[in-house]
Amino acid sequence: MLPQEIIRVKRDGGTLDAAAIQAFVRGITDGSVTEGQAAAFAMAVFFRGMSLDERVALTRAMRDSGTVMDWRPLDLPGPVIDKHSTGGVGDKVSLILAPALAACGGFVPMVSGRGLGHTGGTLDKFESIPGYRAKPDPELLRRVVKEVGCAVIGATDDIAPADRRLYAIRDVTATVESLDLITASILSKKLAAGLDALVMDVKFGSGAFMADLDKAAGLAESIVTVSRGAGLPAVGLLTDMNEVLGRSAGNALEMRECLAILRGEPADGRLYEVTAELAAELLALARLAPDAKVGRAMFDEAMRSGAAAERFARMVAALGGPSDLLENPDRHLDRAPVVRPVTAERPGFVAAIDTRAVGIAVVALGGGRTKVTDAIDFAVGLDEVAGLGAEVGPAGRPLAIVHARSEAQADQAALALRRAFTLSDRPAERGPLIARRI
C-alpha cells in the first residue's frame, strides 16, 4: 500500500492492519516516507485515534525499526526489568530505584532520556558525574548489566530509530499530545530493551506534562494495555507532581540528594515513598517477590543494608565514573559560585505551587535546555525547596536555596520562585501521593 493510501485510510477514520503500519514505519526509518507524509500520518492519528490493535502494531513496528536487545545469551539469573516516568520537576527516582532493584535480584538496563521542557532528565543527572559513559558500546553495557545488575544509560542511535524521526516531526506539527503516538513512542524503546517486566510512573499535577488526573490515567491505561498486548507485563502508578519531588531540582544537586539517601541519611518522605512503591510493584510483577508487600520489604532492606548503595557505586565505576563518588561527592560534582536563600515576602503556609514554573526557573538558570544544542550547567538549580503545607516567612524557612552562576541569575530565579508559591494563613492539606494503580 502506498504511503498516501495509508494516510487516507486513517484520515477517513478507517482501521489499518499490521502490515500497512509496518510498511509505513519501515518507510519512516529508511526515508522512503517523506517528512510531509509522516506529518500527515501523525495529524490523522491525532484526530482519528487508533484502536488497541493498531497501537500494538505501531509500537511493535517502531520497536523493530532498530536493534532489539537479547539478554538470553548472558544466561542472567534473574528477570530484566525497568521503570519509565513521564517526567516531573525533581524526579530523581531512577537514581535510587535502579541500584535497589539490582540489589533485589533484578537486572536493569535503564534507557533514560534528557530533560524535556520544564522537566529534568535522568541522563543529564548522570552526566553530571565526571567520566560517566552515558552511551557505552553494547559489549560494555552487557558486561555492566551482568556483573553489577544495573546500568543507567541513554538510547543509542540504533534503538527505535523510527521513533526518533517521528517524534521530531510531531514536535513541530503540534501532535506531541496524541495518546496513541505517546504510547508507541514510550513503549517502542522499552520493548527494544528486551524487558521481562515494566512499571510506569505517570505523573499528574502542576509540574506534569499531563496535569489533569483523568488524562494522566488515560495515558497510564493506554501504556499498560498496549504493553501487555505487545507481550511485556506492565503496571502503572499515578503519582503526584503538584510539588517538587524531593528537596532539590537541578542535576548535580539531585545527584547529591540521592547519594545522601543511598548512604543512609534521612530521605524526603515523598521521594522515598514513590520509589519504594514503584519497586514493590515491579518486584512483584517480575516474580522476584510473591506480592507487593514483600517487594516493599525487600526494597527497604536493600536501602537499609547498603546493598543498593554498593550497586550504585559499582555501576558508576564500571561506566567510567569515580570509584569514590558515594563517599566524596564534593570532590567530583560541580558547585555553583552563588548560593542564596529565597525567602517569602510574608509569613504563611505554602498553599499551592506552580511546579512547572519552578522547573522553568531551573532551566533559566542553565540547568535545562531551551533548544537541543544547549549545554547544561550541571551545578545550578534549587535545594531545600519548600513543599505544600510548609511554614515559610521573611525570617523563617526559605522557599528554596538558589544555586546560580551569577548574581543576576539568582535575582531572576528568586523573582520566579516568589511568583510560583501561593501562601495562606493556615496549613494546606496534601492530596494522595499515589492516586491510583493501573
Contacts of 127 (CB under 8 A, 6+ apart): 134, 251, 376, 378
84 flagged as catalytic: yes
Check 82, 196, 240, 268 and give the catalytic one. Answer: 82
Check 10, 55, 83, 356 and give the catalytic one. Answer: 83
11 flagged as catalytic: no
185 flagged as catalytic: yes
135 flagged as catalytic: no
Q: Among candidates 178, 102, 387, which has minimal Cα distance to 270? A: 387
Check 29, 59, 65, 85 and give the catalytic one. Answer: 85
- CA count, 13 A, side-chain hemisphere, 238: 22
Q: Specify the residue for cell string 527505535.
A: 160
Check 10, 55, 165, 189 and give the catalytic one. Answer: 189
Check 10, 55, 60, 84 and give the catalytic one. Answer: 84
Between CA 34 and CA 223 the distance in angstroms is: 28
Q: How many helices (H) and strands (E) does the chain have?
A: 17, 12
Check 125, 190, 247, 356 and give the catalytic one. Answer: 190
122 flagged as catalytic: yes
Q: Specify the residue for cell string 548512604.
A: 263
Check 92, 170, 270, 296 and give the catalytic one. Answer: 170
- CA count, 13 A, side-chain hemisphere, 171: 11
> C-alpha cell of 92?
530523581
Between CA 413 and CA 193 the distance in angstroms is: 39
Q: Are 105 and 76 in contact (CB under 8 A)?
A: no
Q: Are strands 150-154 and 338-342 parallel, antiparallel or unpaired?
A: unpaired
Q: Among candidates 398, 420, 429, 94, which has minimal Cα distance to 245? A: 94
83 flagged as catalytic: yes
Between CA 293 and CA 279 the distance in angstroms is: 10
377 flagged as catalytic: no
146 flagged as catalytic: no
Q: Which residues sit opposite 82 in a β-bridge?
A: 198
Q: Among candidates 18, 117, 29, which has minimal Cα distance to 359? A: 117
248 flagged as catalytic: no
Check 59, 65, 119, 185 and give the catalytic one. Answer: 185
Catalytic residues, by residue number, are 82-85, 122, 170, 185, 189-190
